[in-house]
Amino acid sequence: VLFVDRADFVAEVAAEAPGGNTAGFVADLETYDGARAAMACAVATFGRIDVLINGVGGAIRMRPFAEFEPEQIDAEIRRSLMPTLYSCHAVLPHLLAGGGGTIVNVSSNATRGIRRVPYSAAKGGVNALTAALAMEYAEHGVRVVATAPGGTT
């Protein structure tokens, strides 16, 4: 299992994970280069990729939509949609070369929430991405699913 985060402590988290065969990699998944580098690291470390779990995101701000500044809207989309979009794109060549695999995208039940419209829109995008990829790549042995948990602590 490769743990990827932009925080330097990701290697410590990976080392403490049960099960043994883990590694940590520092990358900014809000950029395509970060996602591509993470996939390259996974292949270099483990030989192939079978499963991608996109668990990036989280509402940055909660307020009425009219009170968001444009930069805050951009930040929410960058944080809660783009890492999943970029990682799905970057992993597909590896999954296709290996004959298939699974992508699990973590969405949110907040797609129907209030006071977090940018986050809801981003996670709605994750749902649309998941459905479109599932239909587009099913015949190639790539299964794409989403989970939509509620609040976590």
What's the CATH number of domain 2-147, 3.40.50.720, 3.40.50.300, 3.30.450.20, 3.30.70.1350? Answer: 3.40.50.720
Q: Catalytic residues, which ones?
A: 119
Q: Where are the domains of the chain?
A: 2-147
Q: How far apart are CA 29 and CA 56, in angstroms?
A: 8
pLDDT digits (tens, 9 = 90+) for 8-46: 999 999 999 998 799 999 999 999 999 999 999 999 999
pLDDT digits (tens, 9 = 90+) for 132-151: 999 999 999 999 999 988 76
Which of these ranges, 62-71, 91-100, 103-112, has the smallest mean pLDDT?
Answer: 103-112
Q: How far apart are CA 22 and CA 133, in angstroms?
A: 27
- Per-residue CA distances from 113 to 16, 56, 83, 123, 125 (Å): 35, 18, 21, 11, 14
